[in-house]
Structure 1
């Protein structure tokens, strides 16, 4: 006995069986980053390939994702079970933060992060202390900023041609040249107007929406295009058949009222003769008749009030019941309800039309009404689209025609990312040449800079330069060219004394001046990729022990000591 408790024998735990140290730990780390990079390496650049992922959607239903976007690949894997490897999860999480902010640059950050870890592990295995590697990497990353300053060019939000090149560069995937140009032109003009009419130096893309669908009327609309469809949880044939596919008659200079809560003229619960908590008790057929007539009078009065204020269209986030819809439409007030996919559309419409969203129609006053230049409706695939166009507010919808429903999501994502990337360029006012040119320019500078560093950090700076070349190497490989030949040619181009130049990898795998080729990206994309990759490499290179979670140590039930 020990303090009134029986002694319990526990098997001794051999820490060596569940802890990795030193070389094994570094192998554990580098294997994870290498595996993550292998998932997205082939997607980089204009020749990037697509990946098909079997995963689940946001409501846990099976989903097949076909994409050439690294961020979408990582997202799909996370939805389908995620990254069980702790290092892989940390690596992906670091990159995910950058992608959500900038909507691009994920592949570059992943490839550079993996290369920095690999180069750093090699140095540590050769005897360099991880601290020296981290310091050398920090020196290299700081030096990169100065090189990019010299390489960057200013961009004015009014320079639509340059914004078009930024938008076109951001669009990966299988797009024809004419389609890419058309998409880029719509994106650039939208960003130009948003920048011009914005109240701050930040271009807000929340007021730019993208819709794609089979036989959609492609174009750019000044206003909001609302789509409604059966479901989305009920996709049965009956739901599609019962959906109201009728369309509004075209209108011009229409006055709209916008409400985001259910229109409830009853305001009370109803009980058929039972329950003491009811606001209304109906005990006879005559009572039911009186109650129904009262409801009809309330609905009619509400409809007459809208007509009196000159409302042409009522837009509701929630569905109107048949009684209310019939009363409104019979008095000439058109109804566009169930505007809730996405919920933000009613607020976009308010900003576009100059109206105000109200919670209850009793709050509606003439000064809260909006005006829309034209309203039309049409069926697009299995959806009904309502076009609120020619509005005064700086709200835009880009629509594109695609061949299949499957392609809709891919093209919407592509254009949404292009909007974000182009907005970043307009907001920051700086762009860089793409095609891997910044990576090569920084690498060339770092090699020269490393010779002036007398300490061991010189080796880490040189390793940083080697890691940067993984980006143009991947572009060359995806173009079907020999990576070593391409890197040799690029090093020769960047070896002059004229400072950083814009030579990168062409779509054919040859050296090309990215400025002349029109391959342009926001300065912040590459800068953030370098910062993200360096940050995660610093974390992982200082790991010298990995303690495996989930090790079964046997049953352990602590008991309180007894006196």
Structure 2
């Protein structure tokens, strides 16, 4: 939103250097920034939401265009480029970022709720209600919301694969064909269940699940880790020429430097060669040392050497000639060498001298193949709790989108299984909480009652946006949904994206972890407490620009 010119006109020359807004002007400044930020993600919400094409930078600071369809990734793409320079927008986005980093779902819900809570709250403040009263009333409503969600929630067990697959499918709102979504959701459910097996604490480490997708790949779940490297990565190792059974694996995170331990030293530190004879002796001793080390590893049963760094060809060639397959420059991503150690029950070492028998990893099979623009080295039949979920794709862009969808689905499904609680989706929780709060709002005395009712009205923004993005009349859809919930105190009715009519979300298989919606409400409320109570905007000695994003319709 642009700075109000009338507000600037009210500042005399002595005050202009401090750039201060107070009261109504400050609220309008905050409200405009919030509305503009919400507008960035509103049209992406729900299974019928649209996507954004964003020009940003990748992690190597190279310009790229990405298609994204949820608030978390939209904000991330913007922050990788110029970011949110506007102070209010930055506060708003920072408050919502925790949803994406912690839960991988619910960020859009939190943003929409925060925007609606602030709109309703500002309306009450404009009518004379103190911001602190709005915050208190919202707190009362949140407490009631928790009780409603307790009654609405259902439990889920690890053997309920169908329900866990529904959770995964609900999360993957990316534009996927129905058959593809169902196939991938079943693989996600199976993966999360396997990751949970054998743990007494109930914790599921989703870092033990790697996601891969490349054009030409076939969808599967590999019992172990698939190391992926670009075909142009430039390692010196030949990799795995032929499949290796019952493989013993050594894993290093540093390059091997035999010069550090070479004994031909003419002048103390480092290698100083004072004559041609000394150089010949040094090279011969260094070559003997490399060959001796390779023979020692072979004698200990090492079949595969995996190194995070690129190894020198003078080291790789003798190792391979001795019968050790070398996979070097395994930096894509570099965390995979540590994940490989988890999978093979081995230990990552920095020096070959640290490589005891107990630190060697094992796999039933190790093989290698080229898939799309990557070389995949598969370590299968591993003893550790690591799995690789592979998704088929026809293009590189489709592969990226499926990897993102699977990443979110695994995180969300794991949360559902760890918590053991589910809620119906499709806007049903918001409608159920709104109905309950309206029914009991009159029990709240004082001005806070108005804020409690406003909280319920704001919740309607969730089903209304779902209906609007699906092409239906949001007013009619919300009215029909209110009627359905009024008729049944524990209704799971949500919005059917096909018809806009109420549908039982449990029966439709649209379910989500209880924690996602609960956390969305808490995140939105925290944002409101930060922004609703701002009555002065002060930025000393700077003339701030306005915040006027371009309309999507222009």
Q: TM-score range by the shorter chain?
A: over 0.9
Equivalent residue, structure 2, for 1:517: 508
Task: Give the superposition deviation at 1:180.
Answer: 0.4
- Sort the Cα spacing of 1:15 and 1:448 in 2 relative to 1 into closer, same or farther, 3 A: farther
What is the root-mean-square deviation of aligned Cα atoms in Å?
2.1
Match of 2:529 among 519, 531, 538: 538
Q: Distance in 1 between matches of 2:52 and 2:268?
A: 58
Q: Distance in 2 between matches of 1:330 and 1:494?
A: 73
Task: Give the superposition deviation at 1:467.
Answer: 0.5
Are the equivalent residues in 2 in contact too, given 1:69–1:172 (CA < 8 A)? no
Equivalent residue, structure 2, for 1:161: 162
Q: Distance in 2 between matches of 1:281 and 1:16?
A: 65
Structure 1 gap ranges (5+): 1-10, 233-238, 554-563
Task: Give the superposition deviation at 1:338.
Answer: 1.2
Equivalent residue, structure 1, for 2:492: 502
TM-score (norm 1): 0.91
Task: Give the superposition deviation at 1:93.
Answer: 0.2
Between 466-475 and 14-23, report the one with greater CA deviation: 14-23
Equivalent residue, structure 2, for 1:384: 375
How far does the alpha carbon of each residue in 1:237-261 deviate from its partner, in whole angstroms, 9 at most, with x for none?
Answer: xx6xx98777520111111111112
Q: Distance in 2 between matches of 1:337 and 1:547?
A: 55
Match of 2:478 among 462, 474, 487: 487
Are the equivalent residues in 1 in contact too, given 2:224–2:388 (CA < 8 A)? yes
Q: Distance in 1 between matches of 2:90 and 2:543?
A: 22
Aligned residue pair count: 532
Within a 5 Å distance, the mapping from 1:420-499 to structure 2 comes to 420-496=411-487, 498-499=488-489
Q: Distance in 1 between matches of 2:13 and 2:217?
A: 69
Q: Distance in 1 between matches of 2:113 and 2:426?
A: 15
Are the equivalent residues in 1 in contact too, given 2:344–2:382 (CA < 8 A)? yes
Are the equivalent residues in 2 in contact too, given 1:230–1:243 (CA < 8 A)? no
Task: Give the superposition deviation at 1:550.
Answer: 4.9
Structure 2 gap ranges (5+): 1-11, 545-554
Residue 548 (structure 1) aligned with residue 539 (structure 2) = yes
Q: Distance in 1 between matches of 2:32 and 2:262?
A: 63
Equivalent residue, structure 1, for 2:258: 265
Q: Distance in 2 between matches of 1:14 and 1:336?
A: 66
Are the equivalent residues in 1 in contact too, given 2:238–2:326 (CA < 8 A)? no
Are the equivalent residues in 2 in contact too, given 1:197–1:394 (CA < 8 A)? no
Task: Give the superposition deviation at 1:414.
Answer: 1.0
Match of 2:246 among 244, 253, 267: 253
Within a 5 Å distance, the mapping from 1:15-164 to structure 2 comes to 18-164=19-165
Equivalent residue, structure 2, for 1:329: 320
- Sort the Cα spacing of 1:406 and 1:270 in 2 relative to 1 into closer, same or farther, 3 A: farther
| Deviation beyond 3 Å, 4+ runs, structure 1 | 242-247, 268-273
- Sort the Cα spacing of 1:260 and 1:445 in 2 relative to 1 into closer, same or farther, 3 A: same
Which protein shows a greater Rg? 1
Task: Give the superposition deviation at 1:69.
Answer: 2.1
Q: Distance in 1 between matches of 2:286 and 2:264?
A: 15
Partner-residue secondary structure (3-state), 2:174: coil
Q: Distance in 1 between matches of 2:283 and 2:232?
A: 30
- Sort the Cα spacing of 1:33 and 1:374 in 2 relative to 1 into closer, same or farther, 3 A: same
TM-score (norm 2): 0.92
- Sort the Cα spacing of 1:550 and 1:494 in 2 relative to 1 into closer, same or farther, 3 A: farther
Equivalent residue, structure 1, for 2:5: none
Partner-residue secondary structure (3-state), 2:14: coil
Q: Distance in 1 between matches of 2:18 and 2:317?
A: 74
- Sort the Cα spacing of 1:80 and 1:269 in 2 relative to 1 into closer, same or farther, 3 A: farther
Task: Give the superposition deviation at 1:405.
Answer: 1.5
- Sort the Cα spacing of 1:17 and 1:395 in 2 relative to 1 into closer, same or farther, 3 A: closer
Are the equivalent residues in 1 in contact too, given 2:214–2:373 (CA < 8 A)? no
- Sort the Cα spacing of 1:278 and 1:245 in 2 relative to 1 into closer, same or farther, 3 A: closer
- Sort the Cα spacing of 1:304 and 1:67 in 2 relative to 1 into closer, same or farther, 3 A: same
Partner-residue secondary structure (3-state), 2:301: coil
Equivalent residue, structure 2, for 1:556: none
Q: Distance in 2 between matches of 1:277 and 1:123?
A: 80
Between 340-349 and 211-220, report the one with greater CA deviation: 340-349
Task: Give the superposition deviation at 1:280.
Answer: 2.1
Q: Distance in 1 between matches of 2:224 and 2:513?
A: 27
Task: Give the superposition deviation at 1:60.
Answer: 2.2
Residue 407 (structure 1) aligned with residue 398 (structure 2) = yes
How far does the alpha carbon of each residue in 1:158-213 deviate from its partner, in whole angstroms, 9 at most, with x for none?
Answer: 22111100000000111011100111111111110111133522211010000110
Match of 1:350 among 325, 336, 341: 341
Partner-residue secondary structure (3-state), 2:260: coil
Task: Give the superposition deviation at 1:272.
Answer: 11
Q: Distance in 2 between matches of 1:12 and 1:376?
A: 74
